[in-house]
Amino acid sequence: MGLRVERGILEPGASLFHSGSANMIDPMTVTIALAIAAAYVIGSIDFAVVIARMHGVDIHTVGSGNPGASNVLRSIGRFPAALVLVGDTLKGVIGAAMGMIASGTADPQIEWAFLAGLAAVIGHCYPIFHKFKGGKGVATGLGVLFFTVPLVGLIVVTTWLVLVKLTKTASISSLLVVFASIPLAMWQGVSGMSLVWLLATVALVVWRHRGNIRRVFTGSEQKVQA
């Protein structure tokens, strides 16, 4: 039954909103969509490109040509690579945080945090500011884990550092910890659509490493400084 507003009192007989109100978009839906779009834009800021240019280097023309921390490490040095790693990780943290805030909850494992985090990883891999030619998404994905499941993020980064030390190959180490992040996240209670978006993030990172996988099997994958 509708309600009629008369002298400030709601009375039966009329709708509070006009008949077209059923077609109005939920404000929270708009907020979440904007957060996801903003996460993509933030993810598109390629710190490897920016920092390499500060050193007079076009990161796309040196080493493996990949605009990521590993190539910066091989081509420029440890400190610039550390800056890239921190910057790329923060993109994932900020993206996931924006998704959570937009959802109106304080639960970092809410599905929108993982979806916005995925958007940040997509931005890193296919940045709008750099002709959609980006990196592999590992560090940005790690940032998503640090925000949503901090213990998993800590385990993953520690394991990655150990594996890089042992294998001297960043791609192998990255793929191993990326796959391990799924059962670890489930152990920490990630489920439902949150797990689906995390799986999509992992799939994207693995897809971006397809060239590295081929080089590993042919024995031509480049090493990094341990």
Task: Report how far residue 209's alpha carbon sits from residue 222's, in angstroms, rounded to the nearest whole number.
Answer: 13
CA 161 centroid distance within chain: 20
- Taken in order 203, 209, 211, 217, the sign of the CA dihedral is negative
Q: What is the model's pLDDT at position 123?
A: 96
Distances from the Cα of 169 to the Cα of 2, 52, 87, 178, angstroms: 67, 21, 21, 14
Quickly tell me which residue has 């397809």 as its tokens.
210
Q: Residue holding tokens 């109106």?
A: 104
Does residue 159 lie in a domain region? yes
pLDDT value of residue 215: 80
Query: Does residue 10 sit within a domain?
Result: no
Q: Is residue 225 part of a domain?
A: no
- Does the pTM exceed 0.95? no
Evaluate whether residue 126 is within a structural domain. yes
Q: Looking at the domain assignment, is residue 19 inside a domain?
A: no
**Is 201 inside any structural domain?**
yes
In a domain, 21, yes or no: no
Range of the domain at 126: 27-218
pLDDT, position 210? 84
Domain count for the chain = 1
Q: What pLDDT tens digit does each residue of the chain (226 aa) get?
A: 444 434 334 444 444 344 444 567 788 889 999 999 999 999 999 898 888 888 888 888 887 777 877 788 888 888 888 899 999 999 999 999 999 999 999 999 999 999 999 999 999 999 998 788 888 899 999 999 999 999 999 999 999 889 888 877 877 888 899 999 999 999 999 999 999 999 999 999 999 988 878 887 877 666 665 5
Sorted by sequence, the CB contacts under 8 Å of residue 18 that are 6+ apart come out as none
Measured between alpha carbons, how far is 90 from 84 in angstroms, rounded to an integer?
10
Q: Do 179 and 199 touch, CB atoms closer than 8 A?
A: no
| pLDDT at residue number 214 | 84
Residue 192 neighbours by CB under 8 Å, 6+ apart: 111
| DSSP E strand boundaries for 21-101 | none
111 domain residue, yes or no: yes
The CA distance from 160 to 158, in Å, is 5
